[in-house]
Chain A
Amino acid sequence: MTRTMNTTAGSGISLDYGEGWYGEEQDGAGPFRWMGREARCRVAGLGISGTGLVRIAGGLWRADVTAPQLSVSVNGMLVGSATIGSDVADRVFPVECTDPLDVVLALDRTFTVPGDPRALGMKVRAIDVFSPEWTSTSVDAEGWYQWERHEYFPFRWMRAAARLFLPPILLRRGGFAEVPIFTPGETAEQVLKVSTACRAVAEIPLRHGWHIYGFELETVPPSAVDDRTFLELTFSLNRLAPGSWHPADPRELGVAVGELDVHPDRRRHDFVGRFHRESGRSQSPSEPVATSPVPSPHAVHDLPIEGDGWHAIESGEAGRFRWMKLEGRLRIAAHARPGQFCVMPIFSAFKNMAQELTILADGQVVAEWTLMKGWNDYNLALGARGRDVVLTMRLKKLTPYASHSSDPRDLGIRVGLLEFHDDEERHARAVFIQENRTRSQRELLSGATVLSSLPSTLGIDLFGKCNIKPACVYCPWDWMKELEGGNTDAIIDDRTLESYGRLFAGAESLVNCSFGEPLLHPRLEQILELVARHRKTIELSTNGQAFTARTVQALAGKPVHLYVSLDAATPETYARLRNERWHEILTGLLFLREARQLAGGWPRVNMVFIPMRVNWPDLEAYFRLCRLVDADALVLRPLLMEESHVDTQRGGYRYVYAQEHLGPDDLGQLVGDCRRLSDRYLVPVRTQFDFGKTDFGGIGTSTTSPDRG
């Protein structure tokens, strides 16, 4: 029965049972003892002082017995009493700690059962003593069920009301508490009240699903926290979870609550609060506020077409568009043109740049564009505002019918919704990029080896240091640092990127390829702002262990494609690949999820999974994790460097690089699994097995499942 002492208590603590106890027994939930009307025990070797806690985990086993009253005395002083229910529950009593502690449990009645001559009082499963000096996590009192192992982090169900105690060690960390809570009910249907003994701390309308909630603790500076007492918090709900949600579970369930953490970061606290306030106003929690990192203030829902050169409006991956026939006209009214520059997204099916588009305004040719395959933005200067403009768009040819045999229409190009602006600098940059892209495609098609064009993707190396030490098990860290030589500590920031001149100007996207954690960069905010200002996108791969208030706020709303490298969906697998910090990553990802919902879905989050023997069993759980954190996609990334000789022991697992590789047959099977799981969990899958550009065993770069509702 000695689950007893807090695990930080150290050795040398003893629990001696005195009078009033029956022998130790065992049931499905573990060992226990019956006590009679009164039972005594002595806890010795604590070596502590201050106001500690004694927690009795006990109950009756028969619901038909009249509930007895339990009184608890410590060192001859009555410390509290409680009514004992039929199920085993925790009851916590503050006590002045001495060494030893003499504990007396007294009941006002006992009962007997046929065939057992004993006078039974209460079934006691554990007696715990918590000292303010060495307890480092919150202590559950009444109102909680047992901890359960959620797939990703531990939690326990709360009843309608519950109490817990925060130890001084936790309180000294800061003035803000943060806790993940799950409610199955509708958003704002359940409200959680948090209070201390003296005052109400927070009243939180809960949102459906798992979310992070924060509240400010009593305004005591961490330095002034009383080292000798616990802070008592009471949680109460206005209503329980609907019974229809858990028909097979007869318990009284309120909400599921994860582990409470305390931090000093007011910015993070404000951010979490703002998320709940603002998202509470939107109709659906999963509905993004906007779909672009820099949403246009003049968004329209259709093209201003004129004449019969167009087909009906449609929707696709890139948004709404119309197919144009060989010639189409647009009438852009003065009032609908809030800027002199127009961005026109156009899709062409021609890969050989054989498609050309001529645009006339009032009979004058204003643009002649050679179109590239796929969706590309084209930029047009329309001249001064204040008058209607009629654009006549003429194509050189139609898309061959045989390439769209199931669609008998005349199909020329797709034209997306127009965007107008007045920013000359932006227009000049966009034209530069557009011309460079065209030149680049021509040079590629002609097989040119000396190029006048510039790369459209620029690889950069933002930060050379990492917070995972030792490095991830498959990372060639030492080798890379050797190759970097003196450049490992070189500062590369927003100013460096600008110093790349035309290479930076011509790039449409930046890809960070650091052997280091980019979110640790001290000028992360400035770098992302530069990228957003230039309307480029940036890909950042992160290990997920740096989602702080600073980094999440820097990322929120920025045109970032974030690749979160976890490769695992359980703490065990994660420990085999990296370290033991799994739980904080989950909290960070939930925090990031809230920030993205506020910021129109940006950054986009891609959860990276490098298929290996060690993590293959986690694949399905990884899909569920992607759902939980609302990832935009699961990305399969290959394990590189075939010749690596890594052979190491981590997390109780021997990781041999050469043996972790999956062969083509295994990969084929894995891709099949991914296709099935993608459909089941509605998580799109992308692969980087071929730079993400070509199809791999049926899973392409685009989504494999419909847009998530």
Chain B
Amino acid sequence: MGLLNRVGVEERLAAEELGTTSECLCHEPWESYYILRRGILPCCHGSKPIAPMEDFERAWNAPALQEIRKHLARGRLSPYCLESTGCPIVQRHLHAQRTRERWLPDRVRTLGKLNRLLGGKPARLYYRLVRALS
């Protein structure tokens, strides 16, 4: 156990038992709801209303809100969220994306270069494998 502890396995198991290993991107659409003069918003950073103010009873489970929840439950930001650029979570996501795009080489171009350097062998192997599997 001592060795396990040293490599952090115990902590990892404890975190799994406590359920703290995975973190939903945002809880707001499950826990918050905004009935505002400009309409119903799923969170205070929502870009546009999903329903008029008067529809507050029905809009809690409206298709637009279900769509947002569906994306977040799968660990993604919904198109609605991505349009809500005032949201700090979205801002951070967009910033990370921009940083990635700036520093990471284009995947297709890099693989093409690598293939040429190795005389085209990786591509031939890949297609042979695909044919065999199909």
Which of B31, B33, B37, B66 is within 8 Å of A464, CB to CB? B37
A354 within 8 A of B: yes
Could you write out 14 A-B pairs with CB less than 8 Å apart?
A349-B18, A351-B19, A405-B5, A451-B61, A455-B32, A458-B35, A464-B37, A480-B38, A488-B37, A638-B88, A642-B86, A689-B88, A690-B89, A693-B27
User: Would you give the 0/1 interface string for A440-461, flagging 1 where the beta carbon is closer than 8 Å to chain B?
Assistant: 1001110111110111111111
Q: Which residue of A lies closest to B73 (CB)?
A: A447
Chain B residue contacts of A300, Cβ below 8 A: none
A305 within 8 A of B: no
Question: Chain B nearest CB: distance from A406 CB in Å?
Answer: 12
B44 within 8 A of A: yes
- B31 & A444 in contact (Cβ 8 Å cutoff): yes
A653 within 8 A of B: no
- A484 & B38 in contact (Cβ 8 Å cutoff): yes
* Given A642-B86, A642-B91: A503 touches B35 (CB 8 Å cut-off): yes
Question: Interface size bucket, B side?
Answer: 35 or more
B13 within 8 A of A: yes
Q: Which residue of A lies closest to B96 (CB)?
A: A664
* Listed residue (A492, A501, A691) with the most chain B CB atoms within 10 angstroms of its CB: A691
* Distance, CA A501 to CA B92, complexed state (A): 36
Tell me the B residues contacting A by CB distance below 8 Å.
5, 10-11, 13-15, 17-20, 24, 26-28, 30-39, 41, 43-45, 49, 53, 56-57, 60-61, 66-67, 69-70, 73-74, 85-86, 88-89, 91-92, 95
* Distance, CA A436 to CA B15, complexed state (A): 26
Q: Which residue of A lies closest to B24 (CB)?
A: A444
* Distance, CA A677 to CA B18, complexed state (A): 35
* Listed residue (B5, B31, B66, B69) with the most chain A CB atoms within 10 angstroms of its CB: B31
Q: Which residues in window 465-509 of A have CB below 8 A to B?
A: 480, 483-485, 487-488, 490, 492, 500-501, 503
Which of A403, A445, A455, A642 is within 8 Å of B33, CB to CB? A455
A511 within 8 A of B: yes
Interface segment, one of A38-46, A394-402, A418-426:
A394-402
- A490 & B37 in contact (Cβ 8 Å cutoff): yes
User: Would you give the 0/1 interface string for A670-701, flagging 1 where the beta carbon is closer than 8 Å to chain B?
Assistant: 00000000000000000011110100000000
* Distance, CA A54 to CA B32, complexed state (A): 65
Count A-side interface residues using an 8 Å CB cutoff.
57
Chain A residue contacts of B49, Cβ below 8 A: 483
Q: Which residue of B lies closest to A480 (CB)?
A: B38
- A461 & B36 in contact (Cβ 8 Å cutoff): yes
Known: A461-B37, A485-B38. 9 other contacts (CB 8 A): A350-B17, A352-B18, A354-B19, A447-B73, A456-B32, A460-B35, A511-B32, A515-B37, A641-B85
Question: Chain A nearest CB: distance from B36 CB in Å?
Answer: 4
Q: Which residue of B lies closest to A463 (CB)?
A: B37
- B14 & A403 in contact (Cβ 8 Å cutoff): yes
Question: Chain B nearest CB: distance from A43 CB in Å?
Answer: 58
Q: Which residues in window 609-647 of A have CB below 8 A to B?
A: 638, 640-643
A126 within 8 A of B: no
* Distance, CA A693 to CA B27, complexed state (A): 10
* Distance, CA A459 to CA B45, complexed state (A): 11
